[in-house]
Amino acid sequence: MGCLVRERHIIELHAVDEPRNRLRRYRLVLGVDAYADVPYLVVAQWGRLRGKLRTRSYEFLSEEKALSCCRAILGTRKRHGYRVTHVDKRHPLVAWMESIRMPKDVSSDAQLRLFDTGSWEEARRPYPSAVADGASLFLRVADDEFPPPPLAAP
Protein backbone atom coordinates (compact mmCIF):
# COMPACT_ATOMS: atom_id res chain seq x y z
CA MET A 1 0.00 0.00 0.00
CA GLY A 2 1.55 3.28 -1.19
CA CYS A 3 1.53 6.62 0.54
CA LEU A 4 -0.58 9.31 -1.16
CA VAL A 5 1.07 12.70 -1.57
CA ARG A 6 -1.32 15.54 -0.73
CA GLU A 7 -0.41 19.16 -0.29
CA ARG A 8 -2.28 22.37 0.28
CA HIS A 9 -1.00 25.91 0.14
CA ILE A 10 -2.93 28.74 1.79
CA ILE A 11 -2.95 32.48 1.23
CA GLU A 12 -5.06 34.62 3.58
CA LEU A 13 -5.96 38.22 2.67
CA HIS A 14 -7.78 40.95 4.61
CA ALA A 15 -9.26 44.29 3.60
CA VAL A 16 -9.94 46.52 6.60
CA ASP A 17 -11.36 50.05 6.39
CA GLU A 18 -13.12 50.88 9.66
CA PRO A 19 -14.73 54.21 8.66
CA ARG A 20 -16.43 52.42 5.74
CA ASN A 21 -17.26 49.36 7.90
CA ARG A 22 -15.20 47.20 5.58
CA LEU A 23 -13.90 44.13 7.40
CA ARG A 24 -13.35 41.56 4.67
CA ARG A 25 -11.42 38.35 4.42
CA TYR A 26 -10.39 36.22 1.46
CA ARG A 27 -8.70 32.81 1.57
CA LEU A 28 -7.15 31.10 -1.43
CA VAL A 29 -6.20 27.43 -1.13
CA LEU A 30 -4.24 25.49 -3.73
CA GLY A 31 -4.72 21.75 -3.20
CA VAL A 32 -2.51 19.18 -4.90
CA ASP A 33 -3.20 15.44 -5.05
CA ALA A 34 -0.86 13.76 -7.54
CA TYR A 35 -2.93 10.56 -7.60
CA ALA A 36 -6.34 12.15 -8.28
CA ASP A 37 -8.10 12.26 -11.65
CA VAL A 38 -8.06 16.07 -11.37
CA PRO A 39 -4.87 16.75 -9.40
CA TYR A 40 -5.14 20.53 -8.85
CA LEU A 41 -7.90 22.25 -6.92
CA VAL A 42 -8.18 25.98 -6.24
CA VAL A 43 -10.62 26.91 -3.48
CA ALA A 44 -11.58 30.56 -2.97
CA GLN A 45 -13.39 31.55 0.24
CA TRP A 46 -14.57 35.05 1.16
CA GLY A 47 -16.72 36.91 3.66
CA ARG A 48 -16.62 39.24 6.65
CA LEU A 49 -13.90 38.82 9.22
CA ARG A 50 -15.00 36.37 11.94
CA GLY A 51 -18.09 35.48 9.89
CA LYS A 52 -19.10 32.58 7.68
CA LEU A 53 -17.24 32.21 4.43
CA ARG A 54 -18.71 31.60 0.99
CA THR A 55 -16.83 29.09 -1.16
CA ARG A 56 -16.13 28.52 -4.83
CA SER A 57 -13.79 25.84 -6.14
CA TYR A 58 -12.06 25.26 -9.47
CA GLU A 59 -10.46 22.01 -10.71
CA PHE A 60 -7.49 21.86 -13.09
CA LEU A 61 -5.52 19.15 -14.83
CA SER A 62 -2.29 21.16 -15.02
CA GLU A 63 -0.34 23.08 -12.43
CA GLU A 64 0.16 26.04 -14.76
CA LYS A 65 -3.59 26.53 -15.23
CA ALA A 66 -4.19 26.29 -11.47
CA LEU A 67 -1.45 28.84 -10.76
CA SER A 68 -2.80 31.11 -13.52
CA CYS A 69 -6.22 31.04 -11.83
CA CYS A 70 -4.58 31.92 -8.49
CA ARG A 71 -2.66 34.80 -10.11
CA ALA A 72 -5.86 36.21 -11.63
CA ILE A 73 -7.71 36.03 -8.30
CA LEU A 74 -4.81 37.61 -6.38
CA GLY A 75 -4.51 40.41 -8.95
CA THR A 76 -8.20 41.22 -8.53
CA ARG A 77 -7.93 41.15 -4.74
CA LYS A 78 -4.91 43.48 -4.88
CA ARG A 79 -6.88 45.99 -6.98
CA HIS A 80 -9.71 45.80 -4.42
CA GLY A 81 -7.40 46.77 -1.55
CA TYR A 82 -6.69 43.40 0.08
CA ARG A 83 -3.44 42.78 1.95
CA VAL A 84 -1.73 39.43 2.55
CA THR A 85 -1.90 38.40 6.21
CA HIS A 86 -0.70 34.80 5.81
CA VAL A 87 1.04 32.80 3.10
CA ASP A 88 2.70 29.39 3.28
CA LYS A 89 6.45 29.71 2.87
CA ARG A 90 6.43 26.85 0.34
CA HIS A 91 3.59 28.31 -1.75
CA PRO A 92 4.54 28.26 -5.46
CA LEU A 93 3.42 31.90 -5.89
CA VAL A 94 5.50 33.51 -3.12
CA ALA A 95 8.13 34.89 -5.53
CA TRP A 96 5.42 36.08 -7.96
CA MET A 97 3.56 37.93 -5.17
CA GLU A 98 6.80 39.67 -4.18
CA SER A 99 7.47 40.62 -7.82
CA ILE A 100 4.08 42.37 -8.16
CA ARG A 101 4.57 43.93 -4.70
CA MET A 102 1.46 42.41 -3.20
CA PRO A 103 0.69 44.46 -0.06
CA LYS A 104 1.44 42.66 3.21
CA ASP A 105 -0.12 43.12 6.62
CA VAL A 106 0.97 41.49 9.84
CA SER A 107 -1.91 41.68 12.33
CA SER A 108 -0.96 42.89 15.78
CA ASP A 109 -2.89 42.44 19.01
CA ALA A 110 -4.27 45.98 18.69
CA GLN A 111 -5.58 45.39 15.17
CA LEU A 112 -7.08 42.07 16.10
CA ARG A 113 -9.00 43.53 19.07
CA LEU A 114 -10.95 45.79 16.71
CA PHE A 115 -13.01 42.88 15.41
CA ASP A 116 -12.20 39.97 17.70
CA THR A 117 -15.00 38.55 19.83
CA GLY A 118 -12.85 35.89 21.46
CA SER A 119 -9.30 35.44 22.66
CA TRP A 120 -6.15 35.83 20.61
CA GLU A 121 -5.78 32.05 20.43
CA GLU A 122 -9.37 31.65 19.21
CA ALA A 123 -8.80 34.21 16.48
CA ARG A 124 -5.71 32.30 15.31
CA ARG A 125 -7.56 28.97 15.03
CA PRO A 126 -6.11 26.54 12.49
CA TYR A 127 -7.50 26.48 9.00
CA PRO A 128 -10.04 23.80 8.10
CA SER A 129 -8.35 20.65 6.98
CA ALA A 130 -8.35 19.26 3.49
CA VAL A 131 -10.29 16.03 3.36
CA ALA A 132 -9.74 13.22 0.87
CA ASP A 133 -12.96 11.91 -0.68
CA GLY A 134 -12.29 9.18 -3.20
CA ALA A 135 -9.89 10.49 -5.81
CA SER A 136 -10.53 14.20 -5.30
CA LEU A 137 -9.39 16.70 -2.71
CA PHE A 138 -11.77 19.29 -1.35
CA LEU A 139 -11.98 21.71 1.54
CA ARG A 140 -14.67 21.27 4.15
CA VAL A 141 -15.63 24.13 6.44
CA ALA A 142 -17.91 23.27 9.32
CA ASP A 143 -20.52 25.88 10.28
CA ASP A 144 -19.19 26.01 13.82
CA GLU A 145 -15.57 26.42 12.71
CA PHE A 146 -15.97 30.14 12.02
CA PRO A 147 -19.03 31.22 14.01
CA PRO A 148 -20.44 34.72 13.57
CA PRO A 149 -19.81 37.14 16.44
CA PRO A 150 -22.45 37.22 19.20
CA LEU A 151 -25.07 39.95 19.09
CA ALA A 152 -24.75 42.84 21.54
CA ALA A 153 -27.14 42.87 24.47
CA PRO A 154 -30.01 45.41 24.14
pLDDT digits (tens, 9 = 90+) for 54-98: 999 999 999 999 999 999 999 999 999 999 999 988 899 999 999
Q: Which of 2-6, 8-12, 61-65, 125-129 has the lowest mean pLDDT?
A: 125-129
pLDDT of residue 79: 95
pLDDT band at 107 (very low <50, low <70, confident <90, very high): low
Q: List C-alpha distances in Å: 135 to 8, 10, 66, 102, 103.
A: 15, 21, 18, 34, 36
pLDDT of residue 127: 38
pLDDT of residue 108: 44
**How far is the C-alpha of 57 from the C-alpha of 72, rounded, in Å?**
14
Residues contacting 56, CB < 8 A, separation 6+? 43, 44, 45
pLDDT of residue 150: 53
Global pTM reads 0.66
pLDDT band at 139 (very low <50, low <70, confident <90, very high): very low
pLDDT of residue 50: 87
Per-residue pLDDT at 6 exceeds 60? yes
In the chain, domain spans: 6-139
CA dihedral 48, 133, 93, 145 (to 10 degrees): 20
pLDDT of residue 95: 92
Classify burial at 40, counting beta carbons within 10 Å of its beta carbon; exposed 0-12, middle 13-18, buried 19 or more. Answer: buried
Residues contacting 136, CB < 8 A, separation 6+? 33, 36, 37, 38, 41, 59
Fold for the domain defined by 6-139: q64v53_bacfr protein fold (2.20.140)
The tens digit of pLDDT for each residue in 11-56 reads: 999 999 999 999 999 999 999 988 888 899 999 999 999 899 999 9
